[in-house]
Amino acid sequence: MSQHSIAIIGVGKIAVDQHLPVIAKNPAFRLAALVSQRGIEQAGVPTFRTPAELYAAMPDLDAVAICTPPSVRHQVALEALNAGMNVLLEKPPAPTVSELADLVRQAAARRCVLFATWHSQYNAGVEEAKKRLAGRKIASLAITWKEDVRRWHPGQEWIWQPGGFGVFDPGINALSILTEIAPEPFFVTAATLTYPANRDTPIAARLTFASDAGLPGAALTAEFDWRQTGDQTWTIEIVVEDGTRLTLIDGGSKLAINGNLTVAEPMAEYEGIYARFAGLLDRGESAVDAAPFHLVADAMVVGKRETTDAFEW
């Protein structure tokens, strides 16, 4: 295992909360630089204002982690690939299906590693659920992802703007767990998307799936809602063909089997992400799971739209 030099592009909340401390404690990485338009600095490493300045100053850099807002991610990632960098992408990896597909092609053409991260996939309960579902049929699946938008995204106007994903911003985390643990692909067959009268993205959504993983007639559903006050709910409940009930709780960090807590570990999502990235870099392999993103696009394509009360912060 070699040590990989890495720079972070876009030093916002997720970079400060997760990427920087996790890189600092992983010996497989050495933080070489930051790129911050606002000039955010960290002791011991240079800060550049633009990626172009970074690549000019450090042509031997191994990798960059792109933590900018999604809208510019394709452009920033393409510039990195053109500079010969290996690239880690925060979620969602791109604003559109086409841009993500293009990045996969471009990385392959340049023989660079491209890694699209989905942080929720790195919880201990997720791994255990995947093992227990392997080769099994599902009698029912119910995703319930209900949180308070005012608590988690206070004042973030971009989430309500066209392309801002709305409640699919958290919902895609649930879908990324589903695509990770499902023994066969899931497809959206119907959806209801609930838009505030004054907003351009949904505040709630209900999805119905079909899958060869389901027994005939199995109810396979997801419910996302951003209007949940009080207790927050990030739960996936699956009944397996033999009647066993798997409940992923708190976003996948806990797993209950028939109501008995079997896995309950502290969240270590970004530790898992960087451990995996180190392995991908060592092997020169890319890993881009486009399936969660595709399910969101599909829900928007097949979704029936309904309007609800206007939303104000």
Size of the site for its own copies (CB under 8 A): 31
Closest by CA position to 207, among listed 194, 195, 226: 194
Does residue 53 touch its own copies according to CB under 8 A?
A: no
- Alpha helices, DSSP H only, in 29-123? 51-57, 73-82, 97-110
Q: What are phi and psi of 141, to 5 degrees?
A: -140, 130
For 229, other C-beta atoms within 10 Å of its C-beta total: 10
Does residue 185 touch its own copies according to CB under 8 A?
A: yes
Closer CB to its own copies, 99 or 271, in the complex: 99
- Contacts to its own copies from residues 142-171, by CB under 8 A: 162-163
Choose one: 34-42, 56-64, 252-260, 302-310; the region binding its own copies (CB under 8 A). Answer: 302-310
Among 55, 115, 145, 186, interactor with its own copies by CB under 8 A: 186
The 72-91 contact track toward its own copies, x by CB under 8 A, reads: --x-----------------
DSSP string, 128-181: HHHHHHTT--EEEEEEEEE-BHHHHSTT-GGGGSTTS-TTHHHHHHHHHHHHHH
Does residue 217 touch its own copies according to CB under 8 A?
A: no
Does residue 291 touch its own copies according to CB under 8 A?
A: yes
Least Å from the CB of residue 168 to its own copies = 9
Does residue 69 touch its own copies according to CB under 8 A?
A: no
Among 16, 190, 267, 268, interactor with its own copies by CB under 8 A: 190
Does residue 237 touch its own copies according to CB under 8 A?
A: no
Strands of the chain (E only): list them: 4-9, 29-35, 47-48, 63-66, 86-89, 114-116, 138-146, 186-196, 204-211, 214-225, 233-240, 245-249, 254-257, 260-264, 303-308
Choose one: 31-39, 94-102, 219-227, 269-277; the region binding its own copies (CB under 8 A). Answer: 94-102
In the chain, what is the greatest distance between 2 CA atoms, to the nearest angstrom? 59
Beta bridge partner(s), residue 66:
9, 89
Tell how far CA 223 is from the center of its chain. 18
Among 115, 195, 270, 277, interactor with its own copies by CB under 8 A: 195
> Which residues contribute to the site for its own copies (CB under 8 A)?
74, 95-99, 101-102, 162-163, 185-188, 190-191, 195, 200, 290-291, 294-298, 300-305
